[in-house]
Amino acid sequence: MLERLELKSERGGNKSQKVNGKAKEPTIKKNISNFIKITIMTNWIEIHPDFAKSRHQKEWEKNGFNYQQTKQWIQVGLIPANSPLVYYLKSTGLTPQQYASFTNKNAQEWLDHFYPQAKRKEINYLDIAGQNLEGALNLQDFANLKGLGCWGNKISALDVSNCPHLRPIDCPKNNLEELNLSNNLELKALNCFDNKKLSSLDLSKNNNLVKLICYDCNINNLNLNNGVELTRLRVNNNQLTNLDCVRAVKAEKLI
């Protein structure tokens, strides 16, 4: 008996192929594998739409979370970008239910609750994005911090003066009124867009800055006098009356 399989050609058309006796196993295995991958991806999207970005799923899986475990954390208020935060919380023995039971959204008190002082020098990357945290945040005890992600909160003040090794700072979509980065000499990337109350930004001491994204703020004065390494700058939708970036000779993209 002849079995007829409809296969898609490399050119995008359809062609029929006769298989005597049995189907070609490699083709069937490949189709099953692709179906499983699509199904898994669809399931993760059902947890949260942001899992459409496959890197999020990969990060959670890399950190040891399966579908069901991830779903439990997302259901209590975490977001797909929070895999570093959840990895840390789990390492302290915290469960999703215990995390959800702490409802205080004062930024400093939230940090003090989940990050005991004894652990802070061990933290290299701090992920607290999208947790609706409010008020001022002081990171003075995170002396070895190299990366910070605190976007999507309502933080009004951010003290990183005792974090000299910070390289990327990702703090857009907050309520920042000022941002003092004069002690962060290793800073390479600053993403602080959509901080409507931020009116001034002095980066004259941040000689290693490569990327600055600060659009949709209220900045009227921006000092990049020593931004000799800057390759990407986006400052549109501000109130700029003074922009000093004359030394940004490497800049490839200015908006």
Condensed to tens digits (0 to 9), the pLDDT of residues 175-189 reads 999 999 999 999 999
Distance, CA of 204 to CA of 206 (rounded, Å): 6
pLDDT score recorded for residue 251: 55
Which residues touch 142 (CB under 8 Å, ≥6 apart)?
A: 120, 121, 123, 126, 162, 163
pLDDT score recorded for residue 225: 79
- pLDDT confidence bin for 8, thresholds 50/70/90: very low
pLDDT score recorded for residue 210: 95
Torsion region of 135: left, alpha or beta (phi above 0 gives left; psi -120 to 50 gives alpha): left
CA atoms within 13 A on the CB side of 138: 5
Per-residue model confidence as pLDDT tens digits over 45-102:
999 999 998 899 999 999 999 999 999 999 999 999 999 999 999 999 999 999 999 9
Mean pLDDT of 246-250: 55
Per-residue model confidence as pLDDT tens digits over 131-151:
999 999 999 999 999 999 999
Q: Is pLDDT of 117 > 80?
A: yes
Q: Is pLDDT of 247 > 80?
A: no
Closest by CA position to 111, among listed 93, 136, 92:
136
Which residues touch 103 (CB under 8 Å, ≥6 apart)?
A: none
Mean pLDDT of 185-206: 95
The domain limits of the chain are 1-78, 102-254
pLDDT score recorded for residue 224: 85
Which of 87 and 12 is assigned the larger pLDDT? 87
Which residues touch 176 (CB under 8 Å, ≥6 apart)?
A: 155, 156, 157, 158, 192, 195, 197, 198
Which of 54 and 163 is assigned the larger pLDDT? 163
pLDDT score recorded for residue 241: 84
β-sheet with 221-223: strand ranges across: 200-202, 221-223, 242-244
Domain 102-254, classified CATH 3.80.10.10, yes or no: yes
Q: Is pLDDT of 208 > 50?
A: yes
Q: Is pLDDT of 218 > 80?
A: yes
Which of 28 and 160 is assigned the larger pLDDT? 160
Beta-carbon count within 10 A of 133 CB: 22
pLDDT score recorded for residue 149: 98
Distance, CA of 73 to CA of 136 (rounded, Å): 26
Q: Is pLDDT of 29 > 70?
A: no
pLDDT score recorded for residue 82: 97
One-letter amino acid identity for 160? V
Torsion region of 12: left, alpha or beta (phi above 0 gives left; psi -120 to 50 gives alpha): left
* Average pLDDT of every residue of the chain: 86
Q: What is the pTM of this model?
A: 0.81
Q: In degrees rounded to 5, what are phi and psi of residue 60?
A: -65, -45
Q: How does strand 189-191 pair with strand 211-213?
A: parallel
